[in-house]
Structure 1
Amino acid sequence: MGWEQIRAGRDALGDYLKVSPLDAVAELVWNSLDAEADEVSIDIEYDGMGTDEVRYVSQVAVTDNGHGMSHERARSAFLSLGDSWKKGLGGRTVNKKRALHGKKGKGRFFVYGIGGFVRWTSVSATPDGNVLVEVVGEEQRMEGFSISEPVQTEEPTGTRVTVQAGEGRATAALVRTDFAHQLAARLAGHLLANDDITVLVNGIQLDPAELIDGEPVDIPLTDLDSAEVAEHEPPVLTIVDWTDEMRAAPTIVLCNEEGMALVELDKPVPNTAAKTTGYLKWRRFTGSDMSLALAHMQFPDVISAATKIYETHVRDRLGEITATIVTKLISEGTYPYDTTDIADPIRRTERDMFDLVAVTARSALNSGSRAQREMSARLLKLALEERSEDLDLILTSALGLTGDEREQLADMLKHSTLGNIVGAGAEVARRVELIIALRGAIYGNDSRRRMREVDQLHPLVKDNVWLFGEDWRLSRSEAGLTSVLRDVVHAEAVLEADLTPVPAVRRSDGRAGRLDLVLQRTAGSPGDQHRLVVELKRPSLVIGDKELTQVKTYARTLSKHPAVGASRWTFWLVGADIGDDIEEDVNQVDRAQGHVVKAKNYDIWVTHWGQLLDNATRRLEFYRDQLKYDITQEAATERVRQRHGELLPPEEPMNPAPRR
């Protein structure tokens, strides 16, 4: 058996290495069906132990009972590219048994998407009896094959393709527990139309009918007024809805007129939990000389019409599934929202979003006891409303969502208008509530007296630096800058990094007392950095010349400090009130109020809490008006208290006992 080079260079074959293992296995099955096989058996061997993430594919073998390959056909098929033996058959198999899937002579190279060593063992019938021929291909020499001389054999006709994979190959799709379902979805159009074909995966027969929810629907595209379909039979879109056993399904698949899948189009809609496939069947897809991957360019009207029908069907089905789930939750009392009309637009949109994503999480919402279903619903509600860092943990551990389901949910949240509204609306609401609560805590006589700076006011501010401008929303704290600040700030200031939830705070001389907070943030990229330093004075302190001088000292020292490099600096000094001795500094004629120093590479701002909160409120006013969001002082304070625990002063009793 000698190695012979095909009439094409390696560069022309490189793209076949990018074929997915699932598509490669499907191509081997189509080749078997083109050889008029009635039975195709796929056997996958695994190595490794434990979960799917640890196991890997060592070998894939595809065996059929077709008519096999003669020695002459093997040489013709394997030693040329784009000159398939199928071209002269008029689109039908050798004995006119069924339609041919391919005719470009390229599918045999797909095997390298599975593994690097491949052996075809094929038996065909001749007038002198059956003969066996072997073809060997190697990824390292994929520009050629070794073809054996034919030998007589008593074995029946058919072909066995064995692909050696091994650890390190990207074959995760073949390890997944739903591999057989994914393959069934790709073969469904043909298997449903030809009940004489049997395809087995590790001994289990593929039966797409068992995975279909309801009956497939055929929709002829007869309303197309386009030259694309002139003088041709109209395309037919067959829509198949899958049961929940189908974890992920192809969206729109182009097929020949007999339902043989040729190529899957890019997903026209975000990955949704309504698992539906549209098989677009048309004679011209078979006859196209262009790559079917570019079919949307050659047949834009056909693809566009089919996509619109598919998207409408998916939306309608999603609505039906959602209504069923929500109705069940409401009827058993586990629905986590008020079912009456909600006046608050943000809460109403959150409820709509919950209804939408409940489809993805329906496995958790439909299983277990009533108490478990109620807990699942409340956890999903919490995850959507807070968008916390624990979201993935909640979805995985608590709700048991699979990787595919989490991906569907993420895709839905990313593309859904509801998701954007919920995210933006909830953020605006949280900011409005914080501003109202801070104003009451700082300027209310009782709460102002009881507000503890270091363990109450300071943590609230450090987590909400957008108060000092939207540019700082995505800023970060730098460990190196914290170290520099420790050498610069005065003794009675505490850095953000040094905040601890201790009830008592000591001055540098050991006496109990209140400290000021200095926090820092950095925005921008290396070489173009903007740094923010904020000193928060306790609400009971009136800011004067002493405090301003301290900040000016910080600014001069930090802006020249060799450890921080070139930067633009913004310094803020914030307190409850501003003293008369710095009124002229705060109100200068050539710049905005509070802009006390405008130097070459730094600015210093002085403001009181009221002005800072007013400015933040004005930035939110448009969004607040659009959302029609209004809330009382009491309600805002309560919501902030719910989110931030003990960071607000406790409520005084309505009738406190008289002091003795």
Structure 2
Amino acid sequence: MRTVHIEARPDHLLRLARLKDPLGAVAEMIWNALDAEACEIVVDVETNDLGGVEYVNVVDDGHGMPHASCADYFGRLGGSWKSAAKVSPRLKRGLHGRSGQGRLQAFALGEQIRWVTTAVNAIGQCERTTISGTIDAPADFTVSEPEPVGDDLPPGTRMEASLPADFVGRLAEPGTRDQLTSIFAPFLAANPDVTITHAGHVLDPSTVWAHTAEYAVTAPGGAAEVLPGPLLRVIEWPRDVGRTLALCDSRGVVLAELPAGIQAPGYHFTAYLLWDGFSDRRETLELAEMDADLAELSGTARDVLRRHFRERDSERRARLVQEWKNEDVYPYRQEPSEPAEAVERQLFDEVATTVERRLPRAAQNRRTTLRLLREIIAHDPGGLYPVLDELFRLPQAEQDELRRLLERTSLSDIIKATTEVTSRLDFVAALRKMVFDPQTSKIVKERSELHKILERETWVFGDAYALMVSDRSLDTVLQRHLQELGRNPVPEQLKPVLREDGRKGIVDLMLGRALRGSSGREHLIVELKAPSVKVGQNEVGQIKSYAEAVVSDPQFTDANVKWDFWVISTTMDNVVRRDATAPHRPPGCIAEWEGGVRIWARTWCEVIDDCEARLHFYRDQLNHDPATDHAIEYLRRVHHYIPKVSS
């Protein structure tokens, strides 16, 4: 018996042992057995009545360790024979180990460790050797004298660990088997003659994985001309086994592990990149991201992974939607008839399937929740995230996924835009009914109905207009005008703004917008008339009196502001029409004064035609032609107004 000593500090050796990673230690013992050409490996975890682990054994039928080599194997740190050999002597398996440190990880399984190994020596005789170590003296291993054994005892090694720490109890948990399966899946697939058993259960990836797929990956540089190209194997698991991108040789020997480096919420997976080119780069694999060729290869593999999970996500969403349809809880009954509906439904499907695990179990409650999601997406997609968070109290991981979904996609913005366009089309149809329908237009009230609706639909008068004043005096018009110019006047210091006859004027609507590409502004004063009122000299005189009050009052003076004054109704008398169609002015303009002031007489027909011309392209693209019931429903839903019909 002799003691071999490692020239290294004990604390350094214990750091290499990774004492709090018993699973990694078991995996390392299995890889050592496979490097020794074992075909059958048994991991036995013995527990006591209280469920605590008493000892851990790893038994293999490999070629064992000859006594003459044991001192070298256990007395040296680094310089393993595997780093030079690269493949095993008889079966030519790729070798996992290379650093000469793996045996130290056995201390993660117990304070006392022992190897009992049987091997054929140089003269062809079978001999058994026992190697022992303790955590108190991790630099020293005791190697027994060789013990001759009969030829009927096959070679192999038994690693025994006793006095384990409490955390070694993880090895008795069911998840350990799944994690070991994920580690050795590619090797077991490529080597069907190998059997690994853990706690009485054979590791068989095909009985555990949820899904698997393989993809050819382009080799870096010109390596594809020398070696078969890399293959990416993706295995999805029913439970979390830890995500990694494992770099393997073509026989499934894991040579290094990198972070998976992709987002795939809801999936548990391991990716294996199999390529014999890794064997020639073993010394740099741990730093693969710093090697240009390897960084390119791992980046390509991750791109393939992302594409894989996008396709898997699409399949999962389609399956869930079909299940909801079969259960009659899906809130859409028919296929989308318009592009806008298709966009809305796409966002609904993505969001609903993302939170699917949080939906109520009862069919009726699930149906109600899905309908609520549809309504929010249809009418307020921007407010979707806070509502979902309030409804489902999502864990952080799902919050992040949902936020990523809503940020990465333009669907929400598209739905906002299409909703706005279809709403405008519906309102134009509603406005046409209000001002032209013989039974409705007679009784529409200018101030309490038409006015109140239009102050929320200022886009009718031109894009980018914002409401500044509604149903207020000319004094208020002056105040808002000055505020827009940044002057912030004190109302008490302003002089009253009066019409020429000394009366105060009440403006229906004042709108404003900045002139694109300049520092100037446009103000629009709109005088609305009930559809039954014809624009004549009295109506023109009223709007001109407002214009005169602005022009003649020096408080309004500003060269960068242009003013337009509109009077609108359904019809106008012949004299006003002649002025509105004069050849030297724009159609509808009945007067142009100094200081950029224009006065207009317009009909609702002209205004509505302008709106439809602006929306014509979108109406055709969205295939949306609003019917009367759409128009009335819009007035009811948005403006709480139902058109009356004269008796």
The aligned runs of 1:271-420 (5 Å cut-off) are: 283=278, 302=297, 305-307=300-302, 309-339=304-334, 341-365=335-359, 367-387=360-380, 390-402=383-395, 404-416=397-409
The aligned runs of 1:105-504 (5 Å cut-off) are: 125=138, 192-193=182-183, 214-215=209-210, 217=212, 219=214, 221=216, 224=219, 226-227=221-222, 231=226, 234-241=229-236, 258=254, 261-262=257-258, 265=261, 283=278, 302=297, 305-307=300-302, 309-339=304-334, 341-365=335-359, 367-387=360-380, 390-402=383-395, 404-416=397-409, 422-472=415-465, 485-487=476-478
| Distance in structure 2 (CA, Å) of the matches to 1:555 and 1:87 | 95
Cα offsets for 1:498-541 (capped at 9, x unmatched): xxxxxxxxxxxxxxxx9753243445899946454342413244
**CA drift at 1:379:** 0.8
Identical aligned residues as a percent: 17
| Distance in structure 2 (CA, Å) of the matches to 1:441 and 1:231 | 79
| Distance in structure 2 (CA, Å) of the matches to 1:561 and 1:287 | 81
**CA drift at 1:626:** 2.2
Alpha-carbon contact 1:587-1:593 (below 8 Å) kept: yes
| Distance in structure 1 (CA, Å) of the matches to 2:222 and 2:387 | 53
Cα offsets for 1:435-475 (capped at 9, x unmatched): 00111112223322333444433343333333233344xx5
Alpha-carbon contact 2:245-2:259 (below 8 Å) kept: yes
The aligned runs of 1:24-35 (5 Å cut-off) are: 35=16
| Structure with max Cα Rg | 2
SS for the counterpart of 1:39 is coil
Cα offsets for 1:298-334 (capped at 9, x unmatched): 5687467535533442233223322332233222322
| Distance in structure 1 (CA, Å) of the matches to 2:348 and 2:309 | 18
Cα offsets for 1:100-119 (capped at 9, x unmatched): 9xxxxxxxxxxxxxxxxxxx
Alpha-carbon contact 2:260-2:271 (below 8 Å) kept: no
Alpha-carbon contact 1:516-1:537 (below 8 Å) kept: no
Partner of 1:36: 17
**CA drift at 1:240:** 4.9
SS for the counterpart of 1:571 is strand
| Distance in structure 1 (CA, Å) of the matches to 2:392 and 2:282 | 45
**CA drift at 1:352:** 3.9
How many residues were matched structurally?
Answer: 456
Partner of 1:97: 102
1:628 to 617, 623, 631: 623
Structure 2: which 5+ residue stretches go unaligned? Answer: 1-11, 23-76, 84-95, 106-134, 142-162, 166-177, 186-203, 481-504
**CA drift at 1:430:** 1.4
> Could you say if the C-alpha distance between residues 478 and 99 of structure 1 is closer, same or farther in structure 2, counting changes exceeding 3 Å?
farther
Cα offsets for 1:639-658 (capped at 9, x unmatched): 31342252342467xxx6xx
Alpha-carbon contact 1:594-1:606 (below 8 Å) kept: yes
**CA drift at 1:615:** 1.0
Q: Report the TM-score when normalising by structure 2.
A: 0.55
Alpha-carbon contact 1:456-1:648 (below 8 Å) kept: no
SS for the counterpart of 1:237 is strand
Q: Which moved more, 1:638-647 or 1:586-595?
A: 586-595
Q: Report the TM-score when normalising by structure 1.
A: 0.54
Partner of 1:548: 543
> Could you say if the C-alpha distance between residues 406 and 427 of structure 1 is closer, same or farther in structure 2, counting changes exceeding 3 Å?
farther
| Distance in structure 1 (CA, Å) of the matches to 2:182 and 2:102 | 16
**CA drift at 1:476:** 7.6
SS for the counterpart of 1:35 is helix
**CA drift at 1:360:** 1.1
Q: Which moved more, 1:613-622 or 1:320-329?
A: 320-329
Q: Which residue identity lines up with residue 438 of structure 2 in the other structure?
A: N
Alpha-carbon contact 1:559-1:601 (below 8 Å) kept: no
> Could you say if the C-alpha distance between residues 551 and 308 of structure 1 is closer, same or farther in structure 2, counting changes exceeding 3 Å?
farther
Alpha-carbon contact 1:428-1:623 (below 8 Å) kept: yes
> Could you say if the C-alpha distance between residues 649 and 323 of structure 1 is closer, same or farther in structure 2, counting changes exceeding 3 Å?
same
| Distance in structure 1 (CA, Å) of the matches to 2:367 and 2:559 | 55
Q: Which residue identity lines up with residue 456 of structure 2 in the other structure?
A: D
| RMSD across aligned positions (CA) | 5.5
Q: Which residue identity lines up with residue 320 of structure 2 in the other structure?
A: I
Partner of 1:641: 635
The aligned runs of 1:583-598 (5 Å cut-off) are: 583=577, 586-589=580-583, 592-595=586-589, 597=592
> Could you say if the C-alpha distance between residues 326 and 306 of structure 1 is closer, same or farther in structure 2, counting changes exceeding 3 Å?
same
Partner of 1:573: 566
**CA drift at 1:358:** 1.9
Alpha-carbon contact 2:237-2:268 (below 8 Å) kept: yes
SS for the counterpart of 1:450 is coil
Q: Which residue identity lines up with residue 344 of structure 2 in the other structure?
A: E
Alpha-carbon contact 1:536-1:573 (below 8 Å) kept: yes
| Distance in structure 1 (CA, Å) of the matches to 2:78 and 2:595 | 77
| Distance in structure 1 (CA, Å) of the matches to 2:370 and 2:301 | 36
Partner of 1:517: 508
| Distance in structure 2 (CA, Å) of the matches to 1:470 and 1:416 | 27
| Distance in structure 2 (CA, Å) of the matches to 1:86 and 1:647 | 84
> Could you say if the C-alpha distance between residues 275 and 95 of structure 1 is closer, same or farther in structure 2, counting changes exceeding 3 Å?
closer
